[in-house]
Amino acid sequence: MLRRDLGEADRLAVLLSREEGKVLASAKSSRKPNSRLAALIEPFVLADCRIIEGRGEIQRLAGGEVVEPFRGIRSDIERVARASLMAEIADQGTEPGSAAPRLFALLLDCLRLLAEGAAGPSIELYYLLHSSRLLGYGLSLDHCASCGGDLAGGELAMAPEVGGLACPACYTVAAGRWVDALSLERVRAYRHSRLRVALEIPLSNGQRKVWLDGLRAHVRYHMDVSLRSLDVLRSLER
């Protein structure tokens, strides 16, 4: 998912594994020219890695092979920013050694479609909606997050501080972004659809922006961390 310089020639790679969840692995000499490990820890690469147990939480990357390089992501700066946001959320939301097979599958599906050139904003919306649920702070879409009542028609407030959408009676409690009932029904369909199917669900640019802004605020509020890639993405959208 991510990598950081370590010492003079090494890197610390943050990997997401289907079986082991997040793995921190040192890649010895991976910053040197012609390193056989360098390609394995390129951002947004699916690789079959050989990991050797190390000391504490940091393992050692011994070798492997690239399965899918997802070059289509790295050819576009906006796709890089969206993929970075997804990876950063997965990194911040998981602990080493805790299996996260559904999060792994979600991230892989989203990266694969990003690399194919599919609609980036819709992929991001899908990822934010599903990853927040998998990480334990999913957006409430069926009941008012403030009072627990059913969400009826009309405009609804999206308020991260109460955990999701708020009904009209709670507007004064939850001042947030406004979403309409039609787009709510379509985002509910996102929740129950596979990614490729969800990308066919119609949302106007305005509706998609409202939901993206709200979901980004929801994720940032509940993770309580600064997401650097989100700041980059917002600057690209100006």
pLDDT in tens, 86-117: 999 999 999 998 889 999 999 999 999 999 99
Average pLDDT over residues 43-57: 91
**Mean of all residue pLDDT scores within the chain:** 91
Of 190, 39, 50, nearest in space to 126 by CA: 190
pLDDT tens per residue across span 182-210:
899 999 999 999 999 999 999 999 999 99
pLDDT tens per residue across span 205-236:
999 999 999 999 999 999 988 899 999 999 99
Do 37 and 30 touch, CB atoms closer than 8 A? yes
pLDDT of residue 159: 82
Neighbours of 150 (CB within 10 A): 8
pLDDT tens per residue across span 15-33:
999 988 999 999 999 999 8
DSSP 9: T
Of 15, 19, 17, 21, nearest in space to 1 by CA: 15
pLDDT at residue 58 tops 60? yes
Quick one: how far is CA 4 from the chain centroid? 19
In this structure, of 40-54, 75-89, 142-156, the range with the lowest mean pLDDT score is 142-156
CA separation, residue 62 to residues 51, 65, 195 (Å) = 6, 11, 34
pLDDT of residue 157: 84
Phi and psi, residue 36, nearest 5°: -75, -10
CA separation, residue 114 to residues 78, 83, 159, 176 (Å) = 10, 8, 29, 30
As annotated, the residues of the chain forming the CATH 2.40.50.140 domain(s) are: 2-68
Neighbours of 185 (CB within 10 A): 12
pLDDT tens per residue across span 118-156:
999 999 999 999 999 999 999 888 888 888 988 876 778
pLDDT at residue 181 tops 90? no
Residue percentage of the chain with pLDDT more than 90: 68
Residue percentage of the chain with pLDDT more than 70: 97
pLDDT of residue 136: 94
Going edge to edge, which strands form the sheet with 164-166? Answer: 164-166, 156-159, 177-179
Quickly list DSSP for 217-234: HHHHHHHTS--HHHHHHH
pLDDT at residue 176 tops 80? no
71-237 topology per CATH: de novo design (two linked rop proteins) (1.20.1440)
Q: What is the CATH number of domain 2-68?
A: 2.40.50.140
Element (H, E) at 157: strand 156-159
1 falls in which pLDDT band (50, 70, 90)?
Answer: confident
Dist CA 71 CA 182 (whole Å): 36
pLDDT of residue 172: 61
Neighbours of 36 (CB within 10 A): 11
